[in-house]
Amino acid sequence: MRIAVLGAGAVGLSIAARLSRVADVVAVTRERYVAAIRQEGFRITGRWGDGVYNLAVATSLGPDEEFDYVFITAKSVDTAAVCRDFAPILARAEAVSLQNGIGNEEIIAEYADRVIGGMIITGFEWRSASAVHVSVEGGSMKLGRFPGGMDSAVEALVDLVRKAGIPVEGTASIRTEIWGKTMYNCALNPLGALMNVPYGRLAEPHAWVIIEAIVAEVYAVARAEGVALAWPDPASYLAFLASTQLPSTAGHHSSMLQDLSRGRRTEIDFLNGAIAAIGARHGVSAPVNACVADLVRFREALTEG
């Protein structure tokens, strides 16, 4: 099995490293990571075990190269650019999105006939240019044919990922999984960034009331979009968030906070911004998600300025 991982940062390199034990894998990443990994190997510590991997890395691929599966793990703001750069390769492969937010699979589908959606709720932290620590694992990776269904290509990929030692499940309802993770990110990621606090502090009353409104709007928009969420109503999800998801990530700092502090574009348009935009298409108002998205965009503009 031949696999490429495009836009490989901490997530993509870690997945590529584990898959390299059971398949022929190349990870396309930044030059500074390429140089460090070629010199030192790629080290993983934490929840996925400790080890050093002789991972094949590159800054680009030839347009005629053939792969069975091509993972895209880039930031959502870079999805379209990655697809344009690797269009010939994507057209011949099973394209797998393992990214944050809503809309990535639709972009990829403009370049690939066969799209597999993915959801991963695991924490990856850089330790150096050639080392990543797997800090949190909130559940199994989910893979499914996008927008829905299962088939032999998805089943083969699930089997391969499992053999690589990564907890994974196949699902015929990948949109449900993607929207579920997006709701989690909408509730915590921008507020953690705007307030500069770890996720555990967001359980406090003045933050929690905002989270309640965000979640209620996600449910309304999902209903209009025809997406079934895994919890029957907002109260059920909020109880799960408070009892399970927040405690397991209480000390985690928002990836969006890291983006803002480094002057990088955030994924807000694929999170709260996407909820507001999809809602607008259906005539469903999502003012709190829209406000949160505008606040993050304002912070982005300040950083750029």
Q: What is the pLDDT of residues 23-32, one digit of tens each?
A: 999 999 999 9
pLDDT surpassing 90 at residue 218: yes
Q: pTM for the whole thing?
A: 0.94
pLDDT in tens, 35-80: 999 999 999 999 999 999 999 999 999 999 999 999 999 999 999 9
Range of the domain at 211: 176-304
Lowest mean pLDDT among 131-145, 171-185, 200-214: 131-145
Helix axes 205-225, 174-195, angle to 10 degrees: 150
Give the strands of the sheet with 122-128, arranged side by side.
51-53, 42-46, 131-137, 122-128
Same domain as 166, residue 124: yes
CB 119 within 8 A of CB 15: no
Same domain as 159, residue 78: yes
Q: State the first-to-last Cα distance of the chain, in angstroms, to the nearest integer.
A: 46
Q: Distance between CA atoms of 186 and 292, rounded to whole angstroms?
A: 9
Same domain as 181, residue 92: no
What is the rounded average pLDDT for all residues in the chain?
96
Same domain as 193, residue 264: yes
Helical residues (DSSP H) of 196-245, grouped into ranges: 205-225, 234-240
**Boundary residue ending a domain (105, 138, 172):** 172
Same domain as 19, residue 136: yes
Give the pLDDT band of residue 305 (cuts 50, 70, 90): low
Q: Distance between CA atoms of 61 and 303, rounded to whole angstroms?
A: 33
pLDDT surpassing 60 at residue 106: yes
Lowest mean pLDDT among 85-89, 194-198, 258-262: 258-262
CB 268 within 8 A of CB 256: yes
